Amino acid sequence: MFRRAALLSVLMLFGVLLGAAPALAAAGFAPSPGQLEFGPVDIHFGGSPRQSVQFSNESQSALTVFSATITGADASRFQITHDGCSGHQWEPAEKCSVEVSYQPGAQAIQAATLELSDAEGSLEVPLSGSGITGTLSASPSPLSFSPIPYTPPGHEGEYQETEQVNVLNSQDAGTQIESVNIAGPDASSFSIQYGNCQNNLLAPGNWCDVAVRFAATSPGRKSASLVLGSDSSGTPLVVPLEGEALHGPRVGLPSTQALLGDVPIGSSAQHTFTVTNTGDYPLFIQQDFLISGTPLMFPVLSDACGGQIVYPSASCALTVGFEPTTIGEKGASIVFITNASPITVVGVDGDGVGVDGKGDAQSTRSLSGPSSEGAPGATQTPPTPIAAQGAGAGTPQRPIVEQAPRLVTSIGRNLLYTGLVARCPAQAQACEAVSLVTASPTPNSSRPAARRPARSVVLVGSALNQLRGGQSTRVRVRVSRPAMRLLRRHGHLRVTIETMLRVDGKLVSEQTRVVTLVSPGTAARPGTTARNR
């Protein structure tokens, strides 16, 4: 009796447990597969992949499905796109299916549950997936710049270098680039010039470019980082930036003045200027030429500098002769147009004396102006005609003055019209008009002489015009930025315009003009010969 009562109690407990179990599971619905795994899916270009679960009634009686739903923490990332089970009664061995799509939306592992239910219970099918993005890489990395000279900001011909970085996305997924910046201790020496990476969504295997410019703010080695923020693994792509700012090319000369002493007329002397690059960057000598004074008496005998590149610690030589044709002090200047600052000018001087080494100095007439009166009792020697010096008859002795010089200013461009016209004779093969303009600020006479600052000579600009026979051109010089800043600061600027005309390689004429430029908005001074317009 006791055993029967105990067995009855066990059966009743088993029945209670069966009643508490999910009705559909107990009734015999079986899912296939037992779970849906979507795996890694591109959050940008992965679309909405779909999978289906098939449910089979394996019981001995008909079963009715009330609903199919998705529950769980990431339920919003999964969606039922087709429900072939809910609202139907299924006989034994009949089957139905539910289709589910997955859209990750974020870079993370996500999970939810698909539930089929009736009045008495539910059947659960686990759902899982992970959102992924691509991986960025850069080439080259690090980005290294060639050593370039440091140049103060705003200086004419500032040194700078631009290099490009290629940013490549991996093949597995897309990546959203959100920001492109430069950071680091020397970030101010680097800048982003152009590119198409900022706010760009890169498809798998796609790429973009960023151009970085290096313009150092001081000499020395510089380092920074190009930082690209993106949704790639939550970490930015960092490209190291490396550059070095040199001190630049420097013109080294043992002396900037050659004194050749007394040289009898009919004899000659010479001096060799050795130019050494004492800097740490190649020195480009664009041109060197004689100007001012009496340059016809100082022929260039050999020139291994003009048009040459002089590397650091290397040298070149320029030899100038002195062949006086008249008695008296003679002199000329040699101007070197280079990529070094400031402009380099050297002088050469000598005295023309009689054949016996004696004789009073006679006043002579330069090519650029009328003859001047000599000292009392001194005789004057007529100058040698230009035609006799190989230029040919009809050669103009100097550029023709067209009008007063004027300064024309516009956005990003400032031109000084010198008022000179260079004409190449019709019978000449080729001519060259060389202009050099220097300036110094006009002193402020209202200040005591002891407190007036010393004048600083500034290169306004230079110009080279090449002509064929019969051609002519108005001589114009582009004004440098430092000269314009000086003009605006002082209001007035005293300008010396020196122009030479060389015909078939021979110097035949030189013109020197001294004028005063006036800054816009400044009242003209008496005697001012050039105004802005």
Contact indicator for 419, 406 with CB cutoff of 8 Å: yes
Contact indicator for 37, 73 with CB cutoff of 8 Å: no
Same domain (yes/no): 29, 117 = yes
Same domain (yes/no): 255, 222 = no
Separation of alpha carbons 326 and 53, rounded Å: 114
* Placement of tokens 């100058």 in the chain: 383
Amino acid at residue number 450: A
- Residue that terminates a domain, selected from 304, 338, 363: 363
Tokens of 280: 């740490």
Give the phi and the psi of residue 378 in degrees, each rounded to 5: -85, 150
Same domain (yes/no): 121, 142 = no
H or E element that contains 466? strand 458-468
DSSP letter string, 415-445:
EEEEEEEEE--TT-SEEEEEEEEEEEEPP-T
Same domain (yes/no): 420, 507 = yes
Q: What is the pLDDT of residue 327?
A: 86
DSSP 451: G
Q: Is residue 8 included in any domain, yes or no?
A: no
Separation of alpha carbons 528 and 229, rounded Å: 60
- Residue that terminates a domain, selected from 113, 132, 151: 132
Same domain (yes/no): 312, 358 = yes
Q: Is residue 385 included in any domain, yes or no?
A: no
The closest alpha carbon to 461, from 405, 422, 522, 507, belongs to: 405
Cα of first residue to Cα of last residue in the chain, in angstroms, is 129
Same domain (yes/no): 466, 409 = yes
Strand partners, 274: 317
Pinpoint the alpha helices (H) of 21-161.
Answer: 23-27
Strand partners, 175: 202
Q: Is residue 381 included in any domain, yes or no?
A: no
Amino acid at residue number 153: P
Same domain (yes/no): 236, 281 = no
* Placement of tokens 């002493």 in the chain: 261
Separation of alpha carbons 30 and 55, rounded Å: 5
Amino acid at residue number 236: P
What CATH number has the domain bearing residue 316? 2.60.40.10
Contact indicator for 300, 336 with CB cutoff of 8 Å: no
Same domain (yes/no): 482, 409 = yes
Q: Is residue 3 included in any domain, yes or no?
A: no
Let me know how long the chain is.
533
Same domain (yes/no): 409, 512 = yes
Same domain (yes/no): 148, 125 = no
Q: Is residue 374 included in any domain, yes or no?
A: no
Domain extent, residue 489, equals: 400-444+453-532
Contact indicator for 506, 389 with CB cutoff of 8 Å: yes
Separation of alpha carbons 379 and 520, rounded Å: 48
Q: Is residue 289 included in any domain, yes or no?
A: yes
- Residue that terminates a domain, selected from 81, 110, 132: 132
Q: Is residue 382 included in any domain, yes or no?
A: no
Q: Is 48 exposed, middle or buried (0-12, 13-18, 19+ CB in 10 A)?
A: middle
What CATH number has the domain bearing residue 474? 2.60.40
168 conformational bin, left if phi > 0, alpha if psi -120 to 50, beta if neither? beta
Tokens of 481: 């930025």
Tokens of 429: 């093969």
Tokens of 37: 């795994």
H or E element that contains 333? strand 328-338
CA distances for 469 relative to 424, 473, 503, 507, 509, angstroms:
5, 12, 9, 15, 16
Tokens of 329: 């002090």
Separation of alpha carbons 28 and 55, rounded Å: 10
Q: What is the pLDDT of residue 181?
A: 96
Separation of alpha carbons 462 and 477, rounded Å: 6
Q: Is residue 368 included in any domain, yes or no?
A: no
Separation of alpha carbons 390 and 427, rounded Å: 12
Same domain (yes/no): 21, 119 = yes
Give the pairing of strands 328-338 and 251-252.
unpaired
Q: Please give the radius of gyration of the chain, using alpha carbons only, rounded to the nearest integer.
A: 45
The closest alpha carbon to 126, from 109, 108, 147, 145, belongs to: 109
Q: Is 76 helix (H, G, I), strand (E, B) or coil?
A: helix
Same domain (yes/no): 152, 242 = yes
Structure-derived torsion over alpha carbons of residues 140, 141, 142, 145, reported in degrees to the nearest 10: 10
Q: What is the pLDDT of residue 444?
A: 52
pLDDT averaged per 10 residues, the chain (length 533): 36 36 53 93 90 90 90 94 92 93 90 86 92 94 91 64 94 93 94 93 95 91 95 88 91 86 88 93 83 72 91 93 86 83 81 63 32 31 33 47 75 77 84 78 52 55 77 80 79 82 76 80 50 36
The closest alpha carbon to 78, from 43, 108, 102, belongs to: 102
Counting the structural domains of the chain, the total is: 4
